[in-house]
Structure 1
């Protein structure tokens, strides 16, 4: 009986062991990576070791080890981390781990560890940790090498402050070297870093630089100054430049004030004059904007000046002056499709149909806002686009691509998108067009449309337009549009492409998230208005599209049922569009071209251009003019 029970127990144990092994065998490297990451978060080191062991033959293993070492940088033997860094110099994660590790060693006063591993200190920031360690451990400072590096850069990393203080105290810098560095920093607006140097100048030299520090911190105070320096055009230019960022109208007074006292060199005055003129061009509180541009001599203005002069002349109906401003553009600017279209438009106004059509025909086959608009003016089909849509695409094998492409996708699969993107870009850098095309197909199949788009755009394969303009989530978009009279699926797809390149986990520097790049407060408000009990993640494509489309409808009720107004609002905010509408420009194309913000102006044109391409790809023909009808 006992023997039979033992035998049964043995069979059970064997079965459990076999099932566990089967489970392990069926667990992919990516699944083990995720288990390892979760183990690191839970501080379950035995589970981490199991996961790392399962990845022993995977190129994902170094990334998991990086996460482990980064999390335990203060717990593990220094030799373990140093060995890893030595083995992975040049890896995507090297900078993150080396900065963290050596900074912690400095805090713990493990100076010997730092100094024994100088070859690993491969950036100025890291080398400054090495300088600090030598100062603290042996009161030694390699001033010659640090001085050489210090002179080669304008600003310094935060880790270099102690080394800089030591260099300044050593009296090895000449007054000329100090003043040159102060000037560099002031001209870059590194005011605090410049001040540190001013204190080490001879007393008689300090007043001059403190004077400009005060002006840079409060540019408008220049108007109350009694003392001026006639050989300081570069710094006075920086003062007006800083002022113009906050108030271009007031800065204009400052410019006139300095110019009247001959404190600016001609080239600096022209630069500031042009900058302020273009800044004021889009404002509604500036009287006689056109006079600013008419006063600029024909042989002095930049292309940006004449472009804005043209826009304002067109707004005021002065077509002769608008033509004059176009004539003043450089040859390269004249060849740009924007200004070829508008020259054609001016010819059309004066009845010169032949010359107008010649300008339109020169750009009508371009897949852009003005290219499509030129076809509309000619009343011709989008022949080039329709031809491209009909091209058949080859589908090369994706089995033997360079390993970095597969690694990049694996990294995306395990939520290491930052490293995955770096690997993808590195892989694209060293391959031919055919390989890029195959990589685009591989990423598309995996659902990473942003990576597919990147590769497809570089490959430019015949028939590959759908890779460069992917169209997922159509059902989700259409269900949320709910037959909206002016919002369409091609328009939303065009907007998503411009916002995120279809990267579902995109995050901007302004903290906008997901496909339609929504800000958290905006999404929260929309979710509440949709009567949701809880806002969903903005990395959820369905939720992101739901909130994005709802926000577009909300904006429509705010600025009007006009697609260009909606797109400009989506990019710059409805409050800005309400201000820009005060110019009362009847021609909506001219209104778009007159948007004061360069980014928003190009955004509106790009989304509308994308929209036409999506109409063609989805087999829903439309004209760009259909989107330019505003009540």
Structure 2
């Protein structure tokens, strides 16, 4: 097989010689020029494609990211590269991220080649389950025997393992290490994790008399309705009861009425133990509640104490809210544990119930306790009291010497440079390595440095707790270069709402990509982007273009406008539709469309969507304040369902923002409650 040999690395006299460009200096280097960055981008693209990157990179020997070029070329040619070349790179860059990636990927290649001696020479523990199993396979190939406690115990605790582990498990079975007891330990763990495939693969290694028990568990996970249909013919054994319990709980999520019917048939056939009965009753009550069935509230109230958890207690209150049964709401909240009662949502909804039952003084006291917070429920409480919103911003105190010290760190230099050349994923990895173990003040300062470079998501993720939440200028950036304000205005939507959606969707990560393939700042699916572009008469250059912030915002604001138009201009309903889909929101409106907006949000069945709407509406207030100094209250923006909503304009009445008297935080100063302009 031909091999890739570096022209820059060679062995001479037993010593490894390297080109002069291999190590970047540790001192702060001069800021790279735009020409260097443009050249690096071209060279990096060439290296990734297997083209002649060296011809493009002749002027980059001192550029801080030069080693990334050779790593990219080696990765492209991983099928042909020789071990000596990889080892040379690893020796020169033992602590670099591309070296770690190259080691991992070359180990996979060596395993594919079944070069087990080479594999073991490069292998290091802690590189993941796939390579752990490859290492065990390498030892087996050299004649070693497996020891369960030493070699397999950690892997065995995983409910699911990669395909690379199959030969190792086969060997362990042949050695007699996979006893029935050990198999059942892992099967039970897989059942708890919902891994039907793992259970099915292990079943054949059980004694013949036990295989059906395992297959029933796998069926309960894959097709609970089919398992329940067969359960009436199962013998009443502990494993049959386990499978029936699992099937009933799983089916309750899919179709609670059919699960209920199966429970009526099976509860007398099987001697379910108390925890099993509690799990079944809890699932049935919970999913009758999420369907808002007529008997849901009674079922939740009647649940045995041992069957209750925070979800059933919350849903008891949500079902009562949907019925506007205010005494039942108060009783449900009173039945919650104190930790849950202290949640802002339940404090606010308790105040709503107190007001509805005539206890105005207690309601106002509860609202006042919340109204000092810059949160969704704090803003709603302030609306109930008709008082100004409480937003008390902080700003970071400058520290030039410490900034300069930070900028001398090679990993942070690389992080900033990777961001500058549009490699944000790699930039985040260098960032995390640079700041691993850093104190809070250092991390805040680094986030501020990143923000000044247009790398906004670093502040969003770094400033996520304590008094750092009040660093609003960093946590809620106004990126005028991406054109959000003019694009939102052209689309006919309120810019503060568009900013809030963007912030909630991607936290300002322009390369964000969801499991469903939603992309970019406003998390659009490529199919959605194509449809919106066609409808709006905008150019469309494929799904990859959604990672361009300008393109993403242009299409995302138009899609938001479509959602708002579908729901009478309502931004809060459109926000729910943006998260859960408009068809799902239509179903909820048909069922509970007479509720007040705050109660409707509280009764959204999906926890993710409830929290998303609350987050977006709170963010929209903060962005409104940042853009306009004063804000349009939520009570005006969350108008009644079915009432046409018109986005705020220049003459829309606004509410002032106050700053409660709070002590300054260490390393920060209290700023006046004023906003930057959109162009700042």
| Aligned with residue 182 of structure 1, among 159, 173, 187 | 187
Matched, 1:608 2:617: yes
Can you list the C-alpha shifts for 1:169-228, whole angstroms capped at 9, x where unaligned?
122333322232233223323333323332222222323223333333321132333113
Higher mean C-alpha deviation, range 548-557 or range 194-203: 194-203
Can you list the C-alpha shifts for 1:57-88, whole angstroms capped at 9, x where unaligned?
73x24433321221111222211113434565
C-alpha distance in 2, partners of 1:257/1:61? Answer: 69
Aligned to 2:130: 125
Matched, 1:394 2:404: no
C-alpha distance in 2, partners of 1:120/1:68? Answer: 26
Higher mean C-alpha deviation, range 573-582 or range 94-103: 94-103
Aligned to 2:146: 142
| Aligned with residue 316 of structure 2, among 292, 305, 309 | 309
C-alpha distance in 2, partners of 1:252/1:89? Answer: 60
| Aligned with residue 236 of structure 1, among 236, 244, 261 | 244
Kindly indicate whether the alpha-carbon contact (under 8 Å) linking 2:187 and 2:202 is maintained by their aligned counterparts in 1: yes
C-alpha distance in 1, partners of 2:203/2:99? Answer: 36
Matched, 1:72 2:77: yes
Displacement of 1:594 in angstroms is 0.6
Aligned to 1:518: 524
Kindly indicate whether the alpha-carbon contact (under 8 Å) linking 1:433 and 1:461 is maintained by their aligned counterparts in 2: no
Matched, 1:590 2:590: no
Aligned to 1:625: 635
Equivalent residue runs for 1:93-112 within 5 Å? 93=98, 96-112=101-117
Can you list the C-alpha shifts for 1:67-124, whole angstroms capped at 9, x where unaligned?
1221111222211113434565665445643343223223333233123334478444
| Aligned with residue 576 of structure 1, among 560, 584, 591 | 584
Kindly indicate whether the alpha-carbon contact (under 8 Å) linking 1:105 and 1:111 is maintained by their aligned counterparts in 2: yes
**Structure 1 residues 311 and 123, CA, compared in 2 at 3 Å: closer, same or farther?**
closer
Aligned to 1:7: none
Matched, 1:371 2:378: yes
Kindly indicate whether the alpha-carbon contact (under 8 Å) linking 2:310 and 2:336 is maintained by their aligned counterparts in 1: yes
Aligned to 2:658: none
C-alpha distance in 2, partners of 1:457/1:219? Answer: 41
**Structure 1 residues 491 and 237, CA, compared in 2 at 3 Å: closer, same or farther?**
same
Higher mean C-alpha deviation, range 175-184 or range 603-612: 175-184
Equivalent residue runs for 1:206-225 within 5 Å? 206-221=211-226, 222-225=228-231
Higher mean C-alpha deviation, range 538-547 or range 243-252: 243-252
Higher mean C-alpha deviation, range 401-410 or range 576-585: 401-410
Can you list the C-alpha shifts for 1:443-474, whole angstroms capped at 9, x where unaligned?
12211111233334468459732111112238
Higher mean C-alpha deviation, range 534-543 or range 328-337: 534-543
Q: After TM superposition, which residue ranges in structure 1, 4 or more long, deviate above 6 angstroms?
A: 25-28
Higher mean C-alpha deviation, range 439-448 or range 115-124: 115-124
- The structure carrying a bigger helix percent of its residues is 1
**Structure 1 residues 148 and 365, CA, compared in 2 at 3 Å: closer, same or farther?**
same
**Structure 1 residues 260 and 426, CA, compared in 2 at 3 Å: closer, same or farther?**
farther
Local SS of the residue matching 2:537? coil
Displacement of 1:245 in angstroms is 4.1
Kindly indicate whether the alpha-carbon contact (under 8 Å) linking 1:105 and 1:114 is maintained by their aligned counterparts in 2: yes
C-alpha distance in 2, partners of 1:481/1:118? Answer: 53
Displacement of 1:320 in angstroms is 1.6
| Aligned with residue 405 of structure 1, among 388, 412, 437 | 412
Higher mean C-alpha deviation, range 454-463 or range 182-191: 454-463
Higher mean C-alpha deviation, range 292-301 or range 605-614: 292-301
Kindly indicate whether the alpha-carbon contact (under 8 Å) linking 1:278 and 1:308 is maintained by their aligned counterparts in 2: yes
| Structure with the larger RCO, 1 or 2 (CA within 8 Å, 6+ apart) | 2
C-alpha distance in 2, partners of 1:276/1:63? Answer: 55
Matched, 1:557 2:565: yes
Local SS of the residue matching 1:401? helix
Equivalent residue runs for 1:36-55 within 5 Å? 36-45=43-52, 47-48=53-54, 51=57, 54-55=60-61
Where does the alignment leave 5 or more consecutive residues of structure 1 unmatched? 1-24
Displacement of 1:304 in angstroms is 1.8
C-alpha distance in 2, partners of 1:29/1:302? Answer: 59
Equivalent residue runs for 1:477-556 within 5 Å? 477-482=484-489, 487-532=493-538, 534-535=540-541, 537-556=545-564
Can you list the C-alpha shifts for 1:403-443, whole angstroms capped at 9, x where unaligned?
23332111122232222112223444422333233222211
**Structure 1 residues 101 and 312, CA, compared in 2 at 3 Å: closer, same or farther?**
same
- Length-normalised TM-score, structure 2: 0.81
- Length-normalised TM-score, structure 1: 0.87
| Aligned with residue 168 of structure 1, among 163, 168, 173 | 173
Local SS of the residue matching 1:399? helix
**Structure 1 residues 604 and 214, CA, compared in 2 at 3 Å: closer, same or farther?**
closer
Length, aligned pairs only? 598
| Aligned with residue 424 of structure 1, among 422, 425, 431 | 431
C-alpha distance in 2, partners of 1:79/1:532? Answer: 52
Higher mean C-alpha deviation, range 499-508 or range 566-575: 499-508
Aligned to 1:12: none
Aligned to 1:22: none
Displacement of 1:317 in angstroms is 2.9
RMSD: 2.9
Matched, 1:450 2:457: yes
C-alpha distance in 2, partners of 1:458/1:326? Answer: 27
